[in-house]
Structure 1
Amino acid sequence: MTSIWVGTRGTIRDAPGFNASRDAEAIRKAIRGIGTDEKTLIDILTGRSNAQRQLIAKEYRAAAGKDMKDALKGDLSGNLERIMVALVTPPAVFDAKQLKKSMKGTGTDEQALIEILASRTSKQMKEVAQAYYTVYKKSLGDDISSDTSGDFRQALLTLADGRRDENQRADEQVAKKDAQILYNAGEKKWGTDEGKFIEVLCFSSFPQLKLTFEEYRNISGKKLEDSIQSETSGSFEDLLLAIVKCANNTPAFFAERLHKSLKGAGTDEFTLNRILASRSEIDLLDIRAEYKKLYGVSLYSAIKSDTSGDYETTLLRICGGDD
């Protein structure tokens, strides 16, 4: 059983006065009749935490003899179905499925792989890898290996192993040493020692990395991002830049991803759903604040102008207030 990932800055929390069997019965009624009562489904599933939704699903199965997720899939369609299924899936299983989807079929969705692997804690990645094996009977590492190559593959495998240090205290001497290692591996030499970049960026804790970035600037006179852009390329470059962004400000990283998913021709609903579902109990309040700071409009308004119908209602409920 995987744990539920909860932070203190989520938009969704445990509902007070929660009653799993009552909610399960209400969902059964909403699905059972002629036509679906989407309003009830949205009210219940966006108004409960993931831990509570798992209890509802258990009660639903006991009463109806089938999985609530399957019932939702059979009764809903399109984006509404996808976001509802995301809400009733345990976080580690949801990430595992998103990773599988990003590697399935022809071509790889590198940006989805990068987003998940760069932003999750070691504990979360260990749970995701466990869930991946439980669901697909294959190791996450094996699938990454067969779907990617080179330094990009090596960095992804290191992150998938969940070996990033989780210590929240940073050591100034270590930061100085690591900054010098990065400088020697890139700017200072002809060619790049990509292995050193992987070693520092994929193993150090985020607080440690922040201090390393400061020291790097002292040594080289430039930001590490600029060095990464001039020393690396392609998906490997994208991954390293994502790690730097997450270490500096994880909510800002997600705000930027959300903005990209909402702007331009057509909405990238897969990214939109994934971020809102996976961050709703962790740091969506902070992501909202960063979004407003970066783009001058609220995330709520951006979703409202880019989506419609019951799908829009669901996303706005997950997003919370219009600030």
Structure 2
Amino acid sequence: MYNQYPPPNPNQPYGQQPPPPGGYPPYASVPPQQPQPQQPPYGHQSYPAGYYPPPQQGSYPPAPAPYAPYPSGPPLPSHQQPQPQQQPPYGQQPSYTAPHGYGYQPPRSYPPQQPPGQQYPPPQTYASAPPQRQVAPPPPVALASPSLGYIPGQIAPGDFRPDADVLRQAMKGIGTDEATLIRVLSRLDPLQMAAVRETYTRHIGRDLYKDVKSETSGYFQLGLLAIIDGPLAHDARLVREAVAGLGTTEWKLNDVLLGRSNADLNAIKATYQQKFSRSLGRDVSDDLSAQTERLFTKVVSATRHEESELVHPQHIESDVKSMMVNNITEVCAIFAQSSDTELRAINSAFRARYNVPLDKHIEREFSNHMEEALLRMLDTAIDPAMRDAVLLEECMVGAGTKDEKLTVRLVRMHWDQVHLDQVRRAYHHRYRRDLRDRVRSELSGDYQKLMLAILE
């Protein structure tokens, strides 16, 4: 959770923030070594043997002061009033405790004292090793819940008829009140958006998606429709767009499918089947080939280890050796099935063993879509906020703006306001510029106003 990492002490330089109380959780039962005095470059820190760090998204300085809400207009309903983001103090993240599955020794039990005069049979002798001591089974794995907006049919409680009336009035008659569409739609969370759309159909008797589509155009329309779709339906739509027709839109597959939880992937697959009467796994597999087909087939199977599962040091060492050998089948399995915690452990152990950053090894040994996919999964595990900051800058750097990418990515990020705040901090940290200012300089018109509104 990103809100477990509030801004650091501004008097300490980046990369030298104190660790959580008690240090990072170990994945190997070896004493921690003393850290090296010199910090390696960003993203390639070397950690003491047996340690894996949490994601780094909490190390960014505070984002610039928020802008005044855009635009002015009638007061918002109470459920749409912006709420300040409350972050718990640093150090309140759940502490790590080693489950009883690995390295656990139950307490010794002794036979009862022999009563006087009672004879016990002689102790049994063994020709070989004595029987193994009974070890308590590992605790059941806690399955991750779907992200907000990824449970079909789930909507926010409350009366959303005023929102539906305002939206209908903005599109009724001649002309369209674009400012009202921006003001109402940009501030809804996933469950509120689902409630507004359902209320619009029931109360007005019309389809909000179709009305907005008929009244708007261009990338302004693209952004509004993505918001109205909500995160789950829009993800399914993006995958269909990625594989329909000639060729494959690789960035859409990467954005939607890579680094996701099993719960979210299963929800996306079910929605894809329901909306398009097609199998997402079969469509993706048929549209790819060779290395990437193997990787995405395993990704779509949604068999990642859960974050609550125990990290086994012997498995990490085995995975590190497989990464160096570059057996494609094994590499695909490692990245598709490892949890983010395991990928961080592999990243740290790989550098410690070979003195080479894992991302540099991937860049040297792989290429094209396979390289992009593996690096995306690694970046997601190490620092998801910085990953998204770099992806946004990708859309704006150089000549011209990659408007479809920028719109899709900003809308997808805005569904999680805490994460979006971390992305703004990461962007400012890396590029020394406010993200809203950067977006403002690239766009114009109602399209610009919508993108700035979802960044507030």
Same fold flag (TM > 0.5): yes
Give, in angstroms, the shift of residue 293 of structure 1.
Answer: 1.2
Contact 2:233 2:271 in 1 (8 A): yes
Is 1:288 the counterpart of 2:424? The answer is: yes
Is 1:176 the counterpart of 2:241? The answer is: no
- Label 1:7 to 1:65 Cα distance change in 2 as closer, same or farther (>3 A): farther
- Tell me the residue number matched to 2:439: 303
Contact 1:24 1:60 in 2 (8 A): yes
Number of residue pairs matched by the alignment: 306
Match among 233, 246, 268 for residue 402 of structure 2:
268
- Label 1:82 to 1:7 Cα distance change in 2 as closer, same or farther (>3 A): farther
- Label 1:270 to 1:120 Cα distance change in 2 as closer, same or farther (>3 A): farther
Paired residue secondary structure (1:74): helix
Q: How does 1:34-53 map to 2 (within 5 A)?
A: 34-53=174-193
Match among 222, 242, 267 for residue 127 of structure 1:
267
- Provide the rounded CA distance (Å) in 1 between the counterparts of 2:376 and 2:250: 12
Which structure has the greater CA radius of gyration? 2
Structure with the larger helix share: 1
Is 1:15 the counterpart of 2:149? The answer is: no
Paired residue secondary structure (2:383): helix
Is 1:250 the counterpart of 2:384? The answer is: yes
- Tell me the residue number matched to 1:215: 349
Of the structure 1 ranges 58-67 and 32-41, higher mean CA displacement relative to structure 2 is found in 58-67
- Label 1:314 to 1:8 Cα distance change in 2 as closer, same or farther (>3 A): farther
Structure 2 gap segments, 5+ residues each: 5-65, 67-77, 83-157
Of the structure 1 ranges 46-55 and 303-312, higher mean CA displacement relative to structure 2 is found in 46-55
Contact 2:164 2:204 in 1 (8 A): no
- Label 1:54 to 1:7 Cα distance change in 2 as closer, same or farther (>3 A): farther
Q: How does 1:1-323 map to 2 (within 5 A)?
A: 15-16=80-81, 19-168=159-308, 171=311, 173=313, 174-183=315-324, 185-186=325-326, 193-282=327-416, 283-320=419-456
Structure 1 segments of 4 or more deviating over 6 A? none
CA deviation string 1:238-282 (max 9, x = no partner)? 111111111111111111111011122221122112211112132
- Provide the rounded CA distance (Å) in 1 between the counterparts of 2:436 and 2:333: 39
Structure 1 gap segments, 5+ residues each: 1-5, 187-192
- Provide the rounded CA distance (Å) in 2 between the counterparts of 1:162 and 1:16: 37
CA deviation string 1:61-80 (max 9, x = no partner)? 12332210000001111111
- Provide the rounded CA distance (Å) in 1 between the counterparts of 2:306 and 2:441: 39
- Provide the rounded CA distance (Å) in 1 between the counterparts of 2:373 and 2:194: 33
- Provide the rounded CA distance (Å) in 1 between the counterparts of 2:306 and 2:322: 21
Q: TM (normalized to structure 2)?
A: 0.64
Q: TM (normalized to structure 1)?
A: 0.89
CA deviation string 1:187-228 (max 9, x = no partner)? xxxxxx111111111111101110111111111110111211
Give, in angstroms, the shift of residue 116 of structure 1.
Answer: 1.9
